């Protein structure tokens, strides 16, 4: 049974400001390897056609040329590029992905993956995805529970229940981002996993669940696809139809309501969503100048950075904006981005 990778590249995240911008969100940055997260995601889900079909890319319309350029650089051919005329969250993307797969790769399972996560061990990850095929073929919508490395309070957790197929378990509960005490309890108790936002399902099963639980999303997605227009090598979803789609997450629209949610637990492939600069690692580029300093992360898209007598800092430099943050407070960059919005500094967003 083939797996149809669908890479969700619609994020416009500014959590890695000032390097990430609306025009070049996180997935198009090289944060973990020499390649961008988008390129690494495409390559991760390519196995020469053995189990994985050529991927479908679903992305924001402003990033079409960026995507084509990045695909050319890694020499990967994709099945299709579908452009969203506006952002409508992951439920709409899941519906489009299921409809597209049913029509263009009938019989294949759909694997939905964000474009902006990092995975250290790609082979292990692919094997985890493949291990979900049995449950997905049975009609389960399969998520992947990341083995929690520490009691993180920034992720949702998945509680696993009874076995439904080889290696797959029913989902007993989706847990919101916990407080520190609750997160520690989850880890000591066991059976709780980080929700990695990854989904494997049969297109037909997903379409059925949408029809039952959120028919308006399914209709909007179908119309948007049916009336899509060619846009270079890509296709642009019909704007009126897609705009009519409720903007909610697939977790909220389907996963928390369906009786057929399953989880492949304990996925241990070095997953990170690189949600903030705190989760970016690596040494400073040799172009930079480090003097009498320790534990300083430097990222730059051009300017040379000099650090003198400092420690535990993140320094991110671009030609028009610079971030200097204490390493353990990098998530607070959101406050800066909000302030920029308030000030109308669209040029820096």
Contacts with a second copy by CB under 8 A lie at: 17-18, 289, 291-292, 300, 302-310, 313, 315, 317-326, 328-330, 332-333, 335-336, 339-340, 345, 348
Nearer to a second copy among residue 18 and residue 178 (C-beta): 18
CB of 16 to a second copy, least distance (A): 12
CB of 308 to a second copy, least distance (A): 4
Nearer to a second copy among residue 12 and residue 318 (C-beta): 318
CB of 60 to a second copy, least distance (A): 25
Nearer to a second copy among residue 206 and residue 337 (C-beta): 337
DSSP string, 19-42: T-BTTB-GGGS-SSSSS-HHHHHH
CB of 335 to a second copy, least distance (A): 5
Nearer to a second copy among residue 146 and residue 325 (C-beta): 325
CB of 344 to a second copy, least distance (A): 12
The 10 Å Cβ neighbour count of residue 229 is: 12
C-beta of residue 337 within 8 angstroms of C-beta of residue 349 = yes
The 10 Å Cβ neighbour count of residue 32 is: 20
In a 10 Å sphere around its CB, with 0-12 CB exposed, 13-18 middle and 19+ buried, how is residue 245 labelled?
buried
Nearer to a second copy among residue 221 and residue 305 (C-beta): 305
CB of 26 to a second copy, least distance (A): 17
CA distance 5 to 55: 5
Q: Which of 153, 172, 336, 151 is nearest to 265 (CA)?
A: 172
CA distance 305 to 264: 43
Nearer to a second copy among residue 230 and residue 286 (C-beta): 286
Give 243's contacts (C-beta < 8 A, 6+ positions apart).
85, 86, 88
Q: Which of 147, 258, 262 is nearest to 194 (CA)?
A: 147
Nearer to a second copy among residue 226 and residue 328 (C-beta): 328
Nearer to a second copy among residue 259 and residue 286 (C-beta): 286
In total, the chain counts a number of residues equal to 349
Q: Which of 201, 219, 215, 214 is nearest to 260 (CA)?
A: 201
User: What tokens appear for 213 in the block?
Assistant: 């639980």
CB of 301 to a second copy, least distance (A): 11
User: What tokens appear for 63 in the block?
Assistant: 């990033």
CB of 207 to a second copy, least distance (A): 44
C-beta of residue 55 within 8 angstroms of C-beta of residue 65 = no
Q: HSE on the CB side for 77, CA within 13 Å? A: 4
């Amino acid at each position: 049974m083939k797996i149809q990778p669908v890479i969700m590249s619609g994020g416009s995240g500014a959590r890695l400001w000032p390097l990430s911008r609306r025009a070049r969100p996180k997935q198009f940055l090289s944060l973990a390897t020499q390649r961008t997260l988008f390129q690494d995601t495409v390559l991760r889900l390519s196995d020469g056609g053995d189990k994985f079909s050529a991927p479908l890319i679903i992305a924001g319309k402003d990033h079409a040329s960026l995507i084509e350029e990045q695909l050319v650089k890694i020499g990967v051919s994709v099945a299709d590029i579908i452009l969203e005329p506006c952002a409508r969250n992951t439920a709409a993307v899941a519906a489009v992905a299921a409809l597209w797969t049913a029509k263009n790769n009938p019989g294949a399972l759909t694997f939905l993956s964000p474009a902006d996560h990092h995975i250290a061990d790609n082979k292990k990850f692919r094997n985890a995805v493949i291990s979900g095929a049995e449950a997905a073929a049975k009609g389960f919508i399969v998520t992947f529970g990341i083995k929690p490395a520490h009691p993180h309070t920034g992720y949702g957790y998945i509680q696993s229940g009874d076995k439904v197929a080889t290696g797959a378990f029913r989902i007993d509960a989706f847990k919101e981002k916990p407080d520190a005490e609750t997160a520690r309890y989850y880890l000591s108790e066991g059976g709780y996993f980080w929700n990695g936002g990854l989904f494997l399902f049969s297109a037909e099963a997903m379409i059925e669940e949408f029809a039952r639980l959120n028919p308006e999303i399914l209709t909007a997605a179908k119309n948007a696809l049916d009336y899509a227009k060619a846009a270079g090598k890509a296709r642009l979803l019909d704007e009126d139809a897609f705009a009519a789609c409720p903007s909610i997450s697939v977790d909220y629209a389907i996963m928390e309501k369906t009786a057929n949610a399953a989880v492949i637990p304990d996925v241990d492939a070095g997953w990170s969503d690189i949600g903030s600069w705190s989760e970016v690692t690596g040494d400073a580029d040799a172009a930079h100048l480090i003097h009498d300093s320790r534990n300083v992360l430097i990222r730059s898209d051009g300017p040379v950075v000099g650090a003198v007598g400092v420690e535990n800092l993140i320094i991110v430099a671009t030609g028009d904006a610079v971030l200097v943050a204490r390493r353990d407070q990098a998530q607070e960059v959101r406050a800066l981005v909000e302030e920029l919005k308030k000030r109308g500094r669209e040029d820096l967003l």
